[in-house]
Structure 1
């Protein structure tokens, strides 16, 4: 993907890269070269007479008009895109699709400078990531405010994850502040960063390299107005990250979709085994596997605080075990199940292991797990899951062999 040009607030990151106006972009040399989402034009300083849309006065290409850009604010550095605080149906639909992993990797906005309302040189400056859902969540909370929004190039990743990966970091922030020429837009020297981005940013280095003082805002964008009204002072509640039932539940669709894809392959193998006479799989196996998946990706995350134990995998294993016993009970347990004892035992081994593994994956979504803790849990839980699932699969194959060739 091509690097964006300088005047639009998204310059090439190579040292002394030429702008569309023939000058130098002034990019910070030490910033690592990473691909930018897509190219824009350069200056956007004067609207065309016929269309009223801003064009590049130095011969560049007219920028693409995104649906969520409603106008432009004229500034000393050129026209800055203006975005509404109200989300459109398209914005809401886009977020919903991302929840289900539809187009998730491409759901991003161009890094650069944007504004809400009609900001002036004294208006606050908020910094965020270029994951569009994050960008939308911020602007929807800015109704009635006049503010500038500096969007960093985080490769389309949310603030918290990008801070951990280093894309929401000191170098990118300094680079972007210089790139959008923020010092020429506002008269103050204060920028507000989301608290969840603090792990990636060294505030003293930002001050040293750019002249801007970093203030960390609240955890939730919904507290921005109150934070600004209080003179940029956060309460203890604003500094506390929650992980409510709803917070957990909205994360489960993506986990479910990720788990369904490989299971489709498993169903395909079952169908082939049935077709060649080496299997006897049917509706029971279908709902048994789907139930284990839903248990690990939806039920365990949703019920997380109320399930005994600390380890996510253990919580998933417990619910998976209950599901496996339930499947066997429906099919004749405690008497000999209609599909035989071998398959019944196989379910007891495989279904909880599957639920435990999927529950372990949810550690990456939680607000209270640590890398060392997850690493420790994986080392302890994965071998148990693998051994249990392997024995269960062997029992299933033995059961199929016995059915195919006689007991």
Structure 2
């Protein structure tokens, strides 16, 4: 917050166009998954600079990372900033979940009494929100026309200077190495609860053998199984996004299966001394399955697919992953008995 601007509809809070230390710390925590669902701003109308009734109106989500990405690109610009209530979800995901949607835009415009503040009747929406918003229905619902801005917030100044016209580069969705790396910490952090239960189960199952249960086997074989799990997670969560553009197939579950097969085979060869054939195969199958499942988490975060494509991939990949995990567990349990 940096003061207020007085309008005919009341005082509108002005926000800074630079980040404070608290903003950067919040961003760092959110990047690793901490309080991600609660990192949001109050929906409503804000402004930057000293906007007039003729100044542009930029519509965005109330997810704070998104809100910050927009406001920090508006240094030296006088504009209105309307944060739609997306329940703290970014524009792209919210549009797919019917949260950054026609009805929410209309509600936000009317709630802010925008028609009393703005002389023109134009809203600039992010391009990635287009799947959730009907421009015709917005015009009928609140009297404002919709213009879609660029994909990236960093292009907003150039877009405005060009008379609200986007170039082809501004319309192009990218998924660069840097953008892919930014997703890795979140995926790893969000795993800790599931990982804890999985590790406990693996150590328990690893102790089962001809002598019914062995603590030493639970420890030794459990460490090996835990290592395979970590290899699978890193393969699916880190290796797949790092080499994504070099992997075959469009869907993500086979990409993860391929990297998991390669890394799992390498890991199994390192520890195969006391595992036997069945145990070695079980480890490779487990690592392949874990990697495939983890890689599929990226399918909704990329321009490679669509909401229907995500559903199609899940229908195909999850049954195979369940079958692979079941066979791996059966093989791991059978290994002490048959070698």
* Common fold by TM > 0.5: yes
Structure-1 residue corresponding to 2:178 = 246
Once the 2 structures are TM-superposed, how far is the Cα of residue 277 of structure 1 from its aligned partner? 1.9
Once the 2 structures are TM-superposed, how far is the Cα of residue 282 of structure 1 from its aligned partner? 4.6
The one of 308, 325, 334 equivalent to 2:248 is 308
Structure 2 gaps of 5+ residues are none
Question: SS at the partner of 1:237?
Answer: helix
Cα distance in structure 1, aligned partners of 2:317 and 2:35? 32
Structure 1 gaps of 5+ residues are 1-68
Once the 2 structures are TM-superposed, how far is the Cα of residue 153 of structure 1 from its aligned partner? 0.8
Deviations 1:350-395 (Å, cap 9, x if unpaired)? 1101101111221011112123333333333333222222111111
Once the 2 structures are TM-superposed, how far is the Cα of residue 240 of structure 1 from its aligned partner? 0.8
Structure-1 residue corresponding to 2:128 = 196
The one of 369, 379, 383 equivalent to 2:305 is 369
Higher deviation after alignment, 289-298 or 304-313: 304-313
Higher RCO (CA 8 Å, separation ≥ 6 residues): 2
Tell me which protein shows more helix as a share of its residues. Answer: 2
Once the 2 structures are TM-superposed, how far is the Cα of residue 310 of structure 1 from its aligned partner? 2.5
Cα distance in structure 2, aligned partners of 1:388 and 1:133? 37
Q: 1:389 to 1:150 in 2, by over 3 A?
A: same
Structure-2 residue corresponding to 1:44 = none
Cα distance in structure 1, aligned partners of 2:152 and 2:66? 11
1:169-248 map, 5 Å: 169-248=101-180
Cα distance in structure 2, aligned partners of 1:117 and 1:145? 6
Once the 2 structures are TM-superposed, how far is the Cα of residue 272 of structure 1 from its aligned partner? 4.4
Structure-2 residue corresponding to 1:277 = 214
Cα distance in structure 1, aligned partners of 2:107 and 2:324? 51
Cα distance in structure 2, aligned partners of 1:373 and 1:206? 28
Structure-2 residue corresponding to 1:355 = 291
Structure-2 residue corresponding to 1:74 = 6
Q: Is the 8 A contact 1:206 1:212 kept in 2?
A: yes
Q: 1:207 to 1:379 in 2, by over 3 A?
A: closer
Q: Is the 8 A contact 2:202 2:225 kept in 1?
A: no
Q: 1:165 to 1:379 in 2, by over 3 A?
A: closer
Structure-1 residue corresponding to 2:236 = 296
Higher deviation after alignment, 225-234 or 172-181: 172-181
Question: SS at the partner of 2:300?
Answer: helix
Q: Is the 8 A contact 1:347 1:392 kept in 2?
A: yes
Report how many aligned residue pairs link the two structures. 331
Cα distance in structure 2, aligned partners of 1:158 and 1:87? 19
Q: Is the 8 A contact 1:173 1:206 kept in 2?
A: yes
Once the 2 structures are TM-superposed, how far is the Cα of residue 318 of structure 1 from its aligned partner? 0.9
Structure-2 residue corresponding to 1:394 = 330
Structure-2 residue corresponding to 1:327 = 267
Deviations 1:60-90 (Å, cap 9, x if unpaired)? xxxxxxxxx1211111222111101001121
Instruction: Indicate the structure (1 or 2) with the bigger Cα radius of gyration.
Output: 1
Q: Is the 8 A contact 1:259 1:293 kept in 2?
A: no
Question: SS at the partner of 1:363?
Answer: coil
